[in-house]
Structure 1
């Protein structure tokens, strides 16, 4: 089973829930594999104590950038490539046209309109894949997007593909995916092919709107979807209103607790770091609900 934990908005506590669920499952229930699908800012391993050792790594060369042959190029007096490029990846430098690689999407429009076939493409580094063992004794599959690249959706797909392959090798029945913030391309890729979505929200209008957008997306994909409200006691009345209006099963409520900040600073799951804290006790009940109801 593939379970995606997402939010529709950053900072609501999805990595907090993901890391504690992965740790809880691996220590008390059965083997699971974690997948960090936030390839622009992967931090799941940090929440689980940091990387102890890298078990596998791979460079992905799946992007392409335009290259201009200045011996053929007619320069600014032509400028057809400048006119067609919607990503502002070309600029005039003196008497020549140069490529701004960070902006180039490799779409090929410039090469189509070039009258002298002066534009070709080179393959460049998209990012990296890793399988790593973290200090709290779990295995995480993650990706790291190369600076200036934009293929987040494809890299997330490759992260999930590797996670499933490794899960089969070690006979793990479940994969817990920690998605990126928002509802953009990497989140869509995270949800594709998943079995369950758990939306982590908090009682603020911005978080509620993010959850609504994410729920609309999940319904289009026909995913079983559940709700968790973090820091519910910041505005308990609004939290209950959110649960009513989203109209999906509420798995649990987690109170605001400074112990969570301390656990992050210590790079340890709170259920181990401060098991008697308010957040930890609520979280443990929630994790039991997920493992006995959602994952069965």
Structure 2
């Protein structure tokens, strides 16, 4: 079973929840493989306690960029006029590809009368399989600087996690999604069965959650709500379930212990399971088992 954790807004606590969920499932329900689907800023390994061993690392070639053969180019600039991404500049009456903007769509190649443009495959990013200090296996996507096609990297990471889970006999895959509702988030949700939406009591977080749920509806996911830092504005927190129409798995209070756990790279569910935050997390996960129909068979 694939469980995605998303928020629609950065900083709500989804990585905190996803990391502790992966550890909980590893200890209680036959194991889990974690996926860091925030390939532009991966940090799940930190929340899981740090990297113990890098088992594999490979390149992902899923991007395309335009390239100009100046031996053929006559400087007609039809490619410049055709580019919808402002990825072509003009220098000394000749076009120059700005690779950071180029989407590899091929419009420039189509309009070039001299066939001076070709679309070449480029490095998108990297895929790493790691084992954390706490014994959790995780697949990490890492986008190349200025890279595009984050959705492809996330898809590749998820497929790698499925193979790893099958090989290791793990029943669950926990996907720590990126913020927002862009390509990496869509790719994160596309194969999941359960979605946990993490919301904090501010309007921006509520609006972000609404947008994520619109995406989730397209994939017919079973969606549940976790209210994080709920006690910062309890009145607003109580409105959120009704606004989103979701069952609440639990409410997690604000506590500096969470910050300390990140600083020390020591997940709370391991370091202090009996504390205020540890108990709140346990309640969330036990409710997920009951409401989401989780079992040792995934």
TM bin (shorter chain): over 0.9
8 Å contact from structure 2 (residues 77, 94) kept in 1? no
Tell me how far 1:50 sits from its aligned partner: 1.3
- Give 2:40's aligned residue: 40
Q: How does 1:210-249 map to 2 (within 5 A)?
A: 210-249=208-247
Unaligned runs of 5+ in 2: none
Tell me how far 1:292 sits from its aligned partner: 4.1
Q: How does 1:68-217 map to 2 (within 5 A)?
A: 68-75=68-75, 78-217=76-215
Whole-angstrom CA distance in 1 between matches of 2:248 and 2:290: 15
SS of residue paired to 1:21? helix
- Give 2:55's aligned residue: 55
**TM-score, structure 2 length as denominator?**
0.95
Whole-angstrom CA distance in 1 between matches of 2:133 and 2:10: 25
Whole-angstrom CA distance in 2 between matches of 1:26 and 1:135: 14
**TM-score, structure 1 length as denominator?**
0.96
- In the comparison of the two structures, how many residue pairs are matched? 294
Whole-angstrom CA distance in 1 between matches of 2:237 and 2:25: 27
8 Å contact from structure 1 (residues 263, 274) kept in 2? no
Whole-angstrom CA distance in 2 between matches of 1:262 and 1:146: 30
SS of residue paired to 2:226? strand
4+ aligned runs moved over 6 Å, structure 1: none
Deviations 1:268-293 (A, max 9, x none): 11122233432222112212222344
Whole-angstrom CA distance in 1 between matches of 2:279 and 2:18: 16
- Give 2:8's aligned residue: 8
Tell me how far 1:220 sits from its aligned partner: 2.2
How large is the Cα RMSD of the aligned pairs?
A: 1.2
SS of residue paired to 2:38? coil
Deviations 1:82-122 (A, max 9, x none): 00101111111124221111111111100111111111122
Whole-angstrom CA distance in 2 between matches of 1:68 and 1:217: 38
Whole-angstrom CA distance in 2 between matches of 1:37 and 1:168: 19
8 Å contact from structure 1 (residues 66, 106) kept in 2? yes
Whole-angstrom CA distance in 1 between matches of 2:267 and 2:291: 22
Whole-angstrom CA distance in 1 between matches of 2:62 and 2:229: 41
Tell me how far 1:267 sits from its aligned partner: 0.6
Whole-angstrom CA distance in 2 between matches of 1:234 and 1:50: 30
Whole-angstrom CA distance in 2 between matches of 1:67 and 1:228: 47
Deviations 1:130-180 (A, max 9, x none): 110011110001111111111011111111011111111111111111100
